[in-house]
Structure 1
Amino acid sequence: SFQMSPQGELVTNSGYPVQPGIQIPEGAQSLTIGADGTVSVKMAGDAASVEIGSLTLTDFINPAGLQAKGENLYLETTASGPAQNGTPGLNGLGGIVQGALEGSNVNVVEELVSMIETQRAYEMNAKAISTTDSMLGYLNNNV
């Protein structure tokens, strides 16, 4: 989520300014971000919105090659390839949806079934090891 800094900049929830920087004019009543990344504000007394900037999205050839810096921040590396900036929603880049919460991409039912199957397999293997140990103990004592 984005916020306005005390200096009037559009910043992330961690306080980092968006790139390229977007300055929110003093007296802005509302801010909207379009699906294409267009950032607009409505000024007091104006009916029409005024465009104040545009957000871009960045992609990498190999996102797994990015270096994790912490706090959901990553650094470009030679393994990740160079940053490729573009307009949201075009050329395979994701879109922007203002006010939306990202849902989980995990199917809870499937994961619970998988967990139960794994637990049953573990129990079966533990029982097999226990039975084998008992048999070897019996052989060791009686042979």
Structure 2
Amino acid sequence: MRALAIAATGMSAQQTNVEVIANNIANINTTAFKRARAEFSDLLYQTERAEGVPNRGGADIVPEGARIGLGVKTIGVRNLHIQGSLSQTGNPLDLAINGRGWFQITGPDGETLYTRAGSFNKNAEGTLVTSDGYAVEPQITFPDDTVEVIVNESGEVYARVASQTDPQLLGQLNLATFANDSGLSPLGSNLYRETTASGQPIAGLAGEDGFGSINQGYLEDSNVDPIKEITELISAQRAYEMNSKIIQAVDEMEGTVTKGIR
């Protein structure tokens, strides 16, 4: 029976759904994490009776046909790039983007990567880096005698050193935006890579039209809503159970046929 194969695709789809939800919940405290959503579509239909043609010569056309769907398939896992809430940390090297935009990072192979997790630090040379040691673009290097770091909403980075009263400008942090944030490829470690689907990055300054502002001493929280995720989990579990019930019912029907043959 086709019902077995159809229900199997339903169980497989709901398993994927549960795995996506599990990853969302696992990253509920990950800085700037963006929740994902599994998306599905129906499979091909098998035509038992075609609509729009006469049943026989000289007769009127059939108003509707008979098509049997063959199940469901996963067509994508969409990352929902919705702004997360901002949490104050008090750390001067913690930076959060309030609005659109991505920090630009130099990856391990010299490739430009992108992140919204602004939990930055300084390395041994005083260069501004991510938690994994990747340099922030453009490179910002702090003097050894820096006593205070100031980053304004436009991304200008200042340092007050022990020998001077007025802070000195060290550089300007640029942001990047994309036509399709969902097309970015997640690499883990809060990093993303541009793809053909995301489009090329558009660089600009924080606070300009189309770009968010930078908040010093804050971090962007994960946008995972635990209540929503639990609701989605229950729904996926019930859908999985219903598909399992269909397989059980078909098995009993086939068992009845087998007993009749005996």
TM range (shorter): 0.7 to 0.9
Give TM-score, length-normalised by structure 1: 0.79
Residue 208 of structure 2 corresponds to 90
| Structure 1 residues 125 and 17, CA gap change in structure 2 (3 angstroms) | closer
Residue 126 of structure 1 corresponds to 244
Residue 20 of structure 1 corresponds to 138
Instruction: For residues 11-40 of structure 1, give each alpha carbon's deviation from its aligned partner in whole angstroms, at most 9, with x where no partner exists.
Output: 222223322222212311011222210111
Instruction: For residues 63-108 of structure 1, give each alpha carbon's deviation from its aligned partner in whole angstroms, at most 9, with x where no partner exists.
Output: 455566665252x556544432111132222332222222121211
Matches within 5 A, 1:1-143: 1-44=119-162, 46-63=164-181, 71=189, 72=191, 74=193, 76=194, 80-143=198-261
| Structure 1 residues 77 and 115, CA gap change in structure 2 (3 angstroms) | closer
- C-alpha displacement at 1:46, in angstroms? 4.5
Q: Answer whether contact 2:184 2:192 (CA < 8 A) is retained.
A: no
* Structure 1 residues without counterparts, runs of 5 or longer: none
Instruction: For residues 44-72 of structure 1, give each alpha carbon's deviation from its aligned partner in whole angstroms, at most 9, with x where no partner exists.
Output: 26454332211010123344555666652
One-letter identity of the residue aligned with 1:22: I
| Structure 1 residues 70 and 122, CA gap change in structure 2 (3 angstroms) | closer
Structure with the higher strand share, 1 or 2: 2
Greater RCO (Cα-Cα under 8 Å, separation 6 or more): 2
| Structure 1 residues 10 and 121, CA gap change in structure 2 (3 angstroms) | closer
- C-alpha displacement at 1:134, in angstroms? 1.0
- C-alpha displacement at 1:119, in angstroms? 0.7
| Structure 1 residues 70 and 42, CA gap change in structure 2 (3 angstroms) | same
Moved more, 58-67 or 123-132: 58-67
Q: Taking every aligned residue pair, what percent have the same amino acid on both sides?
A: 39
